Amino acid sequence: MDSLYQLSILEAKEGIKKGSFSREELVKSVLSRIEEVEPKLNSFVSVNKEAVKDARKKDQEKEDKALSGIPVAIKEVLSTIDIKTTASSRVLENYYPAYDATVVAKLKENGAILIGKTNCDAFAFGASTENSGFGVSKNPYDLERVPGGSSGGSASAVAAGETIFALGTDTGGSIRQPASFCSITGLKPTYGACSRYGLLAMASSLDCPGPMTKTAEDAETVFNLIKGKDPKDATSVDFPEKKLQTGKIRIGLPKEYFSDGIDKEVKEAVLKAVKSFPEKDFEFTYVSLPNTGYAIEVYYIITPSEISSNMARYDGIRFGKERKYFEDEVKRRIMLGTYTLSAGYIDQFYLKASKVRRLITNDLENAFKKVDLIIGPVSPTPPFKIGEKTDDPLKMYLGDILTASANLAGIPGISVPCGFADKGLPIGMQIMGPRFSEELIFFVSKTFQTLTNWHKARPKI
């Protein structure tokens, strides 16, 4: 029973249903695993000490819900009632929300047990967790390397078995990139498919909560439970029901995603993964997304602009500490955003970026007239070393170049494990589709995971 923490959601559900183990035993296995590896990983900001009691109660009541007794870790930027939610920033280190984020409430309604809150870059501003006010999280495949960010704690926890699954948030790649770095599956849903209510906002037109799991099948299970319109979030929508298409699935490979700037091992792993798909069911062709090169410039104008507006609430009066406690990256993005929105510069920067955002969206829409989905790498490189990019913010920002376009266009994307670099470092493959194409993305991801075993790898920690 000691290794129950390694199970997927579906495996855990089946074991509980068969009586192979109890919910309490499952939770105890996960908590024991946290106690064992957390000193090395720093995946969590806090751990729920009441989780065993919750599991025992569910066992006694023989609760029959979709996720009954399944441990979940929640990224620290998602509100949890009466459980500290710090956004991994010292500004909010003593903040206890009075309500649950909608996506958290939906998981609880379906019987999931909150095992803890995971570390991230402060207010989700970053791509490595090195900007956290509570210390950097470590990659379980190499403790000298980052787990990615900003949802690095969630990715590290899932990969190391500190939870059965987790929730993260994705603003420019913050679910997909850490999922790639830690060899797990991570979905950035269509914008509006999952409610943002209770999410401490970063960039309101880009933020998306989503699942981080061991398999694509698990990600689909969680997504179907947390999606849907929420009266508390005006940007949320009813997810349209679509029939899965028949016939060959056309996959586009963007030329720009396999350019000279992409690490050789990353390119080779993704192209090798593509060959796993049977030719009778899948057709591959190269497509072009000519404005991809502008994605980072656009993203790092629009995002700080929205950040500067959202962060105005943290004034040290209503809640939280004084602004002097903001982490350096938080200050940097507030200043950048304030500058780009200031009189005399808003036309030059923000409005121009908004127009180019439309061009990037047009590129993707035109591509989806020719193909059903797009496949490419998630990150230009495998996981990098802690401290390698902290002195060069621009170098760090460039890590989002292959993921930011999906957020700018509001389309879904998933990262699935597809190989390892020579040093044993994980590599992820990204699958993107038109808005509300999650069902097709899941179908292709699950197909890939029936043909390969990359998703079954576990770190030796």
Residues 292-325 have pLDDT tens digits of 999 999 999 999 999 999 999 998 888 789 999 9
Q: How confident is the model at residue 230 (pLDDT cuts 50, 70, 90)?
A: very high
Which distant-in-sequence residues (6+ apart) come within 8 Å of 388 by Cβ?
none
Question: For 244-254, how does the pLDDT look when each residue is reduced to its tens digit (9 = 90+)?
Answer: 878 899 999 99
Domains by residue range for the chain, with CATH: 4-238+246-456 (3.90.1300.10)
pLDDT in tens, 145-155: 999 999 999 99
Residue 98 neighbours by CB under 8 Å, 6+ apart: 81, 82
pTM metric for this prediction: 0.97
Structure tokens at 133: 């006010």
Q: How confident is the model at residue 398 (pLDDT cuts 50, 70, 90)?
A: confident
Q: How far apart are CA 143 and CA 163, in angstroms?
A: 19
Supply the residues annotated as catalytic.
75, 150, 174
The span from the CA of 155 to the CA of 189, in Å, is: 17
pLDDT tens readout for residues 233-289: 999 999 998 778 788 999 999 999 999 999 999 999 999 999 999 999 999 999 999
- Name beta bridge partners: 287: 254
Residues 417-426 have a mean pLDDT of 96
